[in-house]
Amino acid sequence: MTATARLIRHDDVGVIELDNPPVNALALGLRVGLEASLEAALGDPSIVAIVLAGGGRMFCGGADLREFNTPAAAQPPFTGELRARMDRSPKPIVAAIHGSALGGGLEMALACHYRVAAPGTQLGLPEVRRGLLPGGGGTQRLPRLVGVPTALRMIVSGDTVDAAGAKAIGLVDEVAAGDVRTAAIAFARAAAARGGHHPVAATREARIDDADAFFAAERARVKAESRGLEAPLECLACVEAATRLPFDEGLAFERSRFRVLVEGTQSKALRHLFFAERAAARIPGIADDQVTRPVRTVGVIGAGTMGGGIAMSLANAGLEVLQLETTQAALDRGRATMTRNWAGTVAKGKLTQDEMDRRLARVRGTLRYEDLADADLVIEAVFEDMAVKREVFGRLDAVCRPGAILASNTSRLDIDEIARSTSRPQDVVGLHYFSPANVMRLLEVVRGAATAPDVIATAMAFGRTTAKLPVLVGNCDGFVGNRMLSAYVREAGFLLEEGASPAQIDGALQRFGLAMGPFRMGDLAGLDIGWAGRKRQAATRPKHLRYSRVADRICELGRFGQKTGAGWYRYEDGSRSPIPDPEVERIIAECAAEAGIARRSIADQEIVERTMYALANEGAKILAEGVALRASDIDLVYVNGYGFPAYRGGPMHFADTIGLKEVAERVVQFHAAHGDWWTPAPLLLERAAAGRGFNDKE
């Protein structure tokens, strides 16, 4: 192990430079180097002051997440000892901060006597986003430095502040005009010359008037906002401890709460998702430096629900958008919806009117295909009908320039068949957005059989530059997300017949952490689309597979969900609150009787197992077929596109957490009880037998 921090002398000032690229993570080597440099600087009488600075592109990005739960994490020197040593230093220590100081990085800076930051530097304690709390004294030092309410907000939200904001709240002492290291050296020298006592956060007090009332109100707010997450409440408890306990006891309290979180399932799930996002960007067979095609002007075909949302998301990212429709009326309707949506954001104070006007001006409407001749990328979002898609792609093929990328936002249709309606299948790709497309982060990039590697690389890069999370998936009915959703919704429908109610199933899954249960989601999205699909498939449906008639009966009554005032629930005029409906209960009971099913009482646990293991079993088939490149990609799809709770890590990670042996046993039981929908995925059985998880490394 090499030491990755070193002492550089600048006359009478010792600069300790962190040198562990890319983010100067506080791994063992860096801790060893920092300790040695600190001792050398403190012990050298010719050094009057110390500057702590980062080499490369930032000060310090924090702890090394990869080191967590490994032996290296348990090897001294620990950062706590280093910070305590800095607290006791008679020589002034100044942090010279550029780029960012995040998490453990900011905690090191908090243990310095002074902080000088370059303009634009980002400072924050984002641990809560990984299900953790700042376990390096951050919850104890920050309230002492910037006050309790400000510290609490930063720690519980994980939000960063920039250098100017940090100066305003007292987090940094100076924003450097020129080079930050030079400024910090001058600052340190002046502080040493001034002499006297240098301020130490640890020796200050964190005070708040009427602490009981303040923390009671904050706890209620954080609890309501954190929706099942443990970490925000633990962060709050630690900040409260800073106001009630002496510094050292506060540190010990923080340490003990950190340990609980770092060993818990929530932070493991959130850290899994953090690494999953990095992994998703890598595509086997496509080099990181694959040349991509430039994307400046984008055409969008259709100005309906999805076309409108996609156009907004592109304009939000600064792209010029040309939107094509069949009639001026459809264009006008689409524009009115976009205007209303952006105006809502302006009304909330999250967007200025000027910026809204600029975004709106980036979207131009047209009725003529010829106007798309120069587009670099065209995204089709017309009706979900193969004949219409083929016609649109044929016309695009005729007008678009060679090399333009032609993409479809289809939810389920065959990308290869769409590609075949053009003379350039290598330029055709799926870009599957999720509704509302201007809000949801997920973008399934669907690779067709002929899609060229540079088209895939471009689509992935385009997704990232437009603030989406692109995940590459293969071509099959429903791709990854909707294919798994079918298994999940089907199972929820069977549970109804067996004895559960829509409200019980939605309630159980919402308590599990889903943003919305399947029946509320169905009512929101509209039940008619699924019904049309089932009618199309009726003739070819394998007769040996169980089929529930309940959803069809509901649709036969014209109940298509919220838009018709009734679906799985009923809705009062103008309200979106679902009200359980005895009529639906009657239909369920009738269908169950017709199917010869004796209804029974069903426990919430069975609801969770049946629906979640249906996802995992289908996910295992998707993985084995190569429709998803990795289990973690499936997890990303579910967390970012389907309201799956991030703190459970996604359906594949959740199955791993339960243990695949147990999951496989239940799947085999469900197969025996409910038939061949539950045919166990061979990959699930293999991994279970081998004692491995879906997400385990090879």
The set of catalytic residues is 107, 127
Q: How many beta carbons lie within 10 A of that of residue 34, not counting itself?
A: 27
Distance CA 110, CA 92 (A): 13
Structure tokens at 97: 């901060």
Write down how long the chain is: 698
Q: How many beta carbons lie within 10 A of that of residue 543, not counting itself?
A: 5
Distance CA 610, CA 671 (A): 11
Residue 125 buriedness (CB in 10 A; 0-12 / 13-18 / 19+): buried
In the bound state with ligand NAD, the residue whose beta carbon lies nearer, of 321 and 392, is 392
Indicate the pairing of strand 13-18 with strand 5-10: antiparallel
Shortest reach from residue 363's CB to ligand NAD, in Å: 14
Instruction: Name, in order, each residue with C-beta under 8 angstroms of 358's C-beta and a sequence gap of 6 or more.
Output: none
- Interacting residues with ligand NAD (CB under 6 A): 301-307, 324-326, 330, 381-384, 388, 392, 409-411, 433-435, 525
Per the CB < 8 A criterion, the answer to whether 105 and 62 are in contact is yes
- Report phi then psi at 137, rounded to 5: 85, 0
Chain Cα centroid distance, residue 610: 25
| Crossing angle (nearest 10°) for helices 604-625 and 660-674 | 100
Shortest reach from residue 169's CB to ligand NAD, in Å: 42
Shortest reach from residue 445's CB to ligand NAD, in Å: 14
Evaluate the omega torsion of the peptide bond into residue 22 and state whether it is cis, within 30 degrees of 0.
yes
Give the burial string for 370-401 (b: 16+ CB within 10 Å, else e).
eebeebbbbbbbbebeeeebbebbebbbebbe
DSSP 369-434: GGGGTT-SEEEE---S-HHHHHHHHHHHHHHSPTT-EEEE--SSS-HHHHHHTSS-GGGEEEEEE-
Distance CA 429, CA 293 (A): 14
Residue 177 buriedness (CB in 10 A; 0-12 / 13-18 / 19+): exposed
What ranges in 91-230 are assigned the alpha helix state H? 104-110, 138-146, 148-157, 163-169, 180-194, 211-226
For residue 237, what are the CA distances in angstroms to 43, 206, 240, 253, 268?
Answer: 38, 14, 5, 9, 21
What ranges in 44-122 are assigned the alpha helix state H? 79-87, 104-110
In the beta sheet, which residues pair with residue 49?
A: 13
Tell me the helix, strand and coil percentages in the chain, rounded to 5: 55, 10, 35
Nearest of 319, 278, 263, 272 to residue 296 by alpha carbon: 319
Per the CB < 8 A criterion, the answer to whether 468 and 441 are in contact is yes
